[in-house]
Structure 1
Amino acid sequence: MSFFSKFFNKEKKEDLDKGLEKTKSNFLGKLGKAIAGKTTVDEEVLDELESILISSDVGLDTTVKIIERIEARVARDKYLNTSELNEILRDEIVQLLAENNTTDLEGYTLPSEHRPTIIMVVGVNGVGKTTTIGKLAHQYQSQGLKVVMGAGDTFRAAAVDQLKIWSERVGCDFYSKGMNTDPAAVAFETVNYAIQNKCDVAIIDTAGRLHTKFNLMKELSKIRNSISKRLDGAPHEVLLVLDATTGQNAIEQAVHFTKATEVSALALTKLDGTAKGGVAIGISDQFKVPIKYIGVGEGIHHLQIFNKRAFVDSIFEA
């Protein structure tokens, strides 16, 4: 397939297909039952489709948009065969993702031409934040870039230790002031370390206590301000990591984090462990923040660049 040969090698496509297997099986299975015995897309089929999208955690508002788009096509074409529904649904979702600022990247490009590029990573505990940082650092290291990880989650000893282990595994630099130190100071000094040691990129971890706690949100704003004081224009990217298995709760987390800081990109992890991969579509639509990475497995190479067409095609391929 020419599309995948341009953006994906065979191994990456297989990883993506495997990672989305549960979502695909859930969605196509329900869709097949909804249109069984029917030849045209009528009101009953659309009602079933709406239910399927919602149960796949696409979200109510985004589902309504998709259904309205298909209704418009039915009204325009007068007759829509159920055999065409898959392709039409696929196209409408790809268009929706494109409208929500999700662009198709061809590699692990840094979000800024500045050196060092500063990436601040946010998200609640347990979403795979530290693992995402490690895998992302690995990708940059493999390109010959010099990376430093900053251990800004100073409230959990495990967070600092895990990040150090990842730095050793990846072979990149590591900066920490230990436990119970000021996270904003760690962020400031990580940036300072990156400048002094001529690093290409600094990836700074942050605390991930419950998003409902006001103090955490306040702390994130403080960390961001501290980074910008040391390097004008930084952070160049604020990456919000969300766990796909939490479904609609991931959207609730995004609400709080986008209020606390200017999130510029999303990473959606653990897609291989859920049938609710549709949450990627809802999150992108609701927040107009591009999805940049998806986690489709536990291996170090299983953090993939998000490609909207490849993602949607993988779900809809029979």
Structure 2
Amino acid sequence: MAREWSDLLIVRDAQASEPGIAGEGQERRVGRLRRLRENMRRTREALTSEIQATLFEDLSEETWERLEEALIYADVGASTTAQVVEQLEREASANELSGGEALTDRLVELLADIARTGEDHINLLAKPTVILMAGVNGTGKTTTTGKLAWHLSQEAGQSVLLAAADTFRAAGVEQLELWAERAGATFVKGPAGADPGSVAYDAVATARRDGADVVIIDTAGRLHTQDDLMAELAKVRRVIAKQDPQAPHETLLTVDATTGQNGLRQARLFAESVQVSGIVLTKLDGTAKGGIALAISHELGIPVKLIGVGEQLQDLRPFDPPEFARALVS
């Protein structure tokens, strides 16, 4: 699973030797985990209080009930929680598991396994690779789009074109244009109120003409319950496919981690309208429970590919299931 950008991105066979996407140092990696652990402190404290209660107790029925409640509180989801707790109970009954540290270690393993699903890379071999960004209003979609463009350009050496297909929110267009300047990316927009599909079409055509490596299309935020806007998003996808039947090559859905189980409902309905290939879990700060990443992976089979844990550029990074599980629990 992806730990660094060089693990997440499939650029070409020689990517490992490219200086722009070299592996990060141990010191930076430790600092990254420390930041993630701090952002998920509240969830971890709630879980740990239940787990550590087993240190000097037998693994009784009450223990499993308390652990189940803690996982559900962390937004892991009822179905996922039931699978994890049942597995732990079976192993305990077979004398393969004791309380305390052994329980914590095994819980981390199980949660990490659940988070591993589907194709967790972002494949950039197609020229141009078209990435469609979608999400509910307020999930940090435009900011994520800009940060992704920066990382692809600065760390992976890709020439990027950003397209503002959110044609109704002038502030969003301006914000994306600033990100394009920061990332050294080409920028394409349409007139106010233009058809989003036409902007997406022009963006792909421009990228093909100019030889850009990646096109990232930022669409308007929309509620998953707005059928007309969801149909519009599906139309954007069809328009893109007219120039390349395989495009968009990635459809990334931004999900606000603070929305809890509503994030699962959002992901399910978006996936019904467009073929969501990956999740970007945003706002993993001290108020987020985070377990929704596991619920989405387990129940929908959609991999979480990126997480956002702050406002800085380095706070958008590849999702690493073992690292995430350790930050959540231990």
Q: TM-score, normalised by structure 1?
A: 0.91
Over 3 Å counting, the alpha-carbon distance change for 1:237 and 1:215 in structure 2 is same
Map of 2:245 onto structure 1: 232
Q: Which amino acid aligns with 1:147?
A: V
Contact in 1 for aligned 2:97/2:103 (Cα 8 Å): no
Shift of 1:241: 0.5
Q: Which amino acid aligns with 2:140?
A: G
Contact in 1 for aligned 2:51/2:100 (Cα 8 Å): no
> Runs in 1 of length 4+ with deviation above 4 angstroms?
3-8
Shift of 1:297: 1.1
Q: Does 1:123 align with 2:141?
A: no
Q: Does 1:295 align with 2:295?
A: no
Shift of 1:79: 6.0
Contact in 2 for aligned 1:20/1:296 (Cα 8 Å): no
Q: Does 1:194 align with 2:207?
A: yes
Map of 1:185 onto structure 2: 198
Q: Which amino acid aligns with 2:285?
A: D
Q: Does 1:260 align with 2:260?
A: no
SS at match of 2:94: helix
Shift of 1:157: 1.5
1:37-68 Cα deviation digits (max 9, x unpaired) = 41x22211000000000011111111111111
SS at match of 1:16: helix
Shift of 1:179: 1.7
Q: Does 1:55 align with 2:73?
A: yes
Shift of 1:36: 6.0
Q: Bigger shift: 130-139 or 70-79? A: 70-79
Map of 2:176 onto structure 1: 163
Give the counterpart of 1:101 among 113, 118, 129.
118
Q: What aligned pairs does 1:213-252 form with structure 2 within 5 A after superposition?
A: 213-252=226-265
Q: Does 1:282 align with 2:274?
A: no
Distance in 1 separating the partners of 2:177 and 2:87: 48
Q: Bigger shift: 5-14 or 224-233? A: 5-14
Over 3 Å counting, the alpha-carbon distance change for 1:274 and 1:229 in structure 2 is same
Q: Which amino acid aligns with 1:97?
A: A
Map of 2:54 onto structure 1: 35
Shift of 1:102: 6.4
SS at match of 2:126: coil
> What is the aligned residue count?
307
Q: Which amino acid aligns with 2:32?
A: K
Distance in 1 separating the partners of 2:54 and 2:25: 32
Map of 2:100 onto structure 1: 82
Give the counterpart of 2:152 among 140, 147, 150.
140
Map of 1:91 onto structure 2: 109
Q: Which amino acid aligns with 1:187?
A: A
Give the counterpart of 1:45 among 50, 63, 78.
63
User: Percent same amino acid among aligned pairs?
Assistant: 39
Over 3 Å counting, the alpha-carbon distance change for 1:237 and 1:167 in structure 2 is same
Contact in 2 for aligned 1:102/1:308 (Cα 8 Å): no
SS at match of 2:91: helix
Q: Which amino acid aligns with 1:195?
A: R
Over 3 Å counting, the alpha-carbon distance change for 1:26 and 1:82 in structure 2 is closer
Q: Which amino acid aligns with 2:283?
A: K
1:234-287 Cα deviation digits (max 9, x unpaired) = 100000110001111111111210111100011000001424111111111111
SS at match of 1:136: helix
Q: Which amino acid aligns with 1:130?
A: T
Q: Which amino acid aligns with 1:172?
A: A
Q: Supply the RMSD in Å over aligned alpha carbons.
A: 2.0
Over 3 Å counting, the alpha-carbon distance change for 1:21 and 1:190 in structure 2 is same
Shift of 1:13: 2.5
SS at match of 1:163: helix
Over 3 Å counting, the alpha-carbon distance change for 1:240 and 1:78 in structure 2 is closer
Contact in 2 for aligned 1:295/1:304 (Cα 8 Å): yes
Over 3 Å counting, the alpha-carbon distance change for 1:206 and 1:272 in structure 2 is same
Name stretches of at least 5 consecutive residues in structure 2 with no aligned partner: 4-23
SS at match of 1:249: helix
Shift of 1:76: 2.1
Distance in 1 separating the partners of 2:127 and 2:287: 38
SS at match of 1:114: coil
1:183-231 Cα deviation digits (max 9, x unpaired) = 0111111111111111110000112122111001101110000001012
1:20-39 Cα deviation digits (max 9, x unpaired) = 2333233223433x43641x
Map of 2:9 onto structure 1: none
Contact in 2 for aligned 1:135/1:303 (Cα 8 Å): yes
Name stretches of at least 5 consecutive residues in structure 1 with no aligned partner: none
Map of 1:20 onto structure 2: 40
Over 3 Å counting, the alpha-carbon distance change for 1:141 and 1:112 in structure 2 is closer
Contact in 1 for aligned 2:257/2:288 (Cα 8 Å): no
Over 3 Å counting, the alpha-carbon distance change for 1:161 and 1:95 in structure 2 is same
